């Protein structure tokens, strides 16, 4: 193999490493502000991702360097013959034990995060006691049901529940829990900016908790191919301070109980927060 080919095979791993290293600076990395997750769990998940990325990057760079070295050496010395060996007990032990140890380390290292994320007995108590809303995925939209102000979310819909479609308001700085359901087929509740993803399964009510740590408007998308309209199953999650969230609920209550006569009672906070959204 000529030196040109050596350079060709050197170019691709270098291009891969450079583009990965540059990704966060040119917006190719995780979504939103400097690729930083908008939830506390999300930041921990990202740390885990970067740890695994660092380990795989070290292995990738090491193996590619050896490969290019071997190519370069054979290009320089055409007479040198490769040595054929068959089976090396020591080498096989080494390349079984090292990856095994790394996998074991990762498995143990991520256990706390996984438990905090997925085990119901690790969920924050306050959020479990007073769920924020019920989220129902259906072909092809997201429906949200909040309890009336001052009341708790009931498993069955109540006459004074508040409803919205494709817009979920969430206070930031405190853990919240939603009850996730599906009306028809399998969907997936995916908040990329918060690194939250949970399948919604017909017949099941699945609790999902998260703590948003930055105000903002974030995408909520369906991450499970659920039919022809899957692509348009997009909603927004508006993360805002607690007061604004309460004002929003107040406004929603007024709109929903409006009987069509006269004007909707003035609610300065509510109309203000609504205006701010637009």
In the chain, alpha helices (H): 3-22, 40-76, 89-109, 111-118, 125-129, 242-256, 268-277
The nearest distance, CB 138 to Cu ion, in angstroms, is: 10
Of 162 and 196, nearer to Cu ion (C-beta) is 196
Do strands 176-182 and 133-138 pair parallel, antiparallel, or not at all (unpaired)? parallel
Neighbours of 173 (CB within 10 A): 13
Calculate the alpha carbon distances from 234 to 35, 106, 191, 221 in Å.
Answer: 21, 34, 10, 5
Cα angle, residue 2 at apex, residues 80 and 61 outer, rounded to 5°: 85
Residue 182 or residue 213: which is nearer to Cu ion going by CB?
182
Task: Quote the least distance from Cβ 197 to Cu ion, whole Å.
Answer: 12
The nearer residue to Cu ion, 222 or 235, going by C-beta atoms, is 222
Q: Nearer Cβ to Cu ion, position 9 or 140?
A: 140
**Residue 180: CB minimum distance to Cu ion, A:** 14
Where is 233: in which H helix or E strand? none
**Minimum CB separation from Cu ion for residue 35, in Å?**
25
Minimum distance of Cu ion from residue 53's CB (angstroms): 28
Q: How far is the CB of 225 from Cu ion (least distance, A)?
A: 6
How many Cα atoms sit within 13 Å of 92 on the Cβ side?
5
Instruction: Indicate the DSSP class of residue 27.
Output: T
By beta-carbon proximity to Cu ion, the closer residue of 37 and 226 is 226
Closer to Cu ion by Cβ: residue 143 or 146:
143
* Residues within the interface to Cu ion (CB under 5 A): 222, 226, 230, 233
Q: Which is nearer to Cu ion, 27 or 229 (CB)?
A: 229
Q: How many helices (H) and strands (E) does the chain have?
A: 7, 10
* Beta pairing partners, 273: none
The two beta strands, 162-165 and 141-146, are: antiparallel
Smallest distance from Cu ion to CB 201, Å: 13
Q: Which residue, among 193, 162, 192, has the nearest Cα to 33 in the 3D structure?
A: 193
The DSSP code for 79 is T
């Amino acid at each position: 193999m000529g030196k040109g080919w050596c350079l060709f095979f050197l170019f691709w791993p270098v291009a891969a490493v450079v583009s990965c290293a540059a990704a966060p600076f040119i917006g190719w990395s995780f979504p939103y502000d400097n690729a930083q997750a908008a939830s506390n769990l999300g930041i921990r998940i990202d740390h885990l991702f970067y740890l695994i990325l660092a380990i795989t990057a070290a292995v990738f760079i090491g193996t590619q360097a050896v490969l290019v070295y071997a190519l370069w050496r054979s290009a320089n010395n055409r007479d040198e013959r490769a040595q054929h060996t068959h089976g090396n007990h020591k080498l096989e032990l080494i390349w079984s034990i090292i990856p095994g140890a790394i996998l074991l380390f990762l498995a143990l290292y991520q256990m706390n995060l996984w438990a905090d994320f997925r085990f119901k007995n690790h969920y924050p108590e306050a959020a479990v006691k007073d769920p924020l809303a019920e989220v129902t995925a259906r072909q092809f939209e997201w429906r949200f049901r909040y309890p009336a102000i001052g009341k708790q979310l009931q498993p069955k819909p109540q006459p004074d529940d508040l409803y919205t479609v494709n817009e979920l308001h969430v206070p930031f700085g405190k853990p919240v829990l939603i009850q996730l359901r599906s009306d028809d087929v399998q969907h997936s509740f995916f908040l990329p900016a918060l690194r939250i993803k949970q399948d919604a399964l017909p017949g099941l009510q699945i609790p999902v908790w998260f703590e948003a740590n930055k105000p903002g408007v974030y995408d909520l998308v369906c991450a499970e191919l659920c039919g022809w309209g899957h692509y348009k199953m997009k909603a927004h999650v508006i993360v805002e301070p607690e007061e604004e969230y309460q004002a929003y609920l107040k406004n929603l209550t007024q709109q929903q109980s409006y009987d069509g006569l006269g004007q909707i009672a003035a609610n300065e906070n509510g109309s203000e927060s609504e205006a701010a959204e637009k």
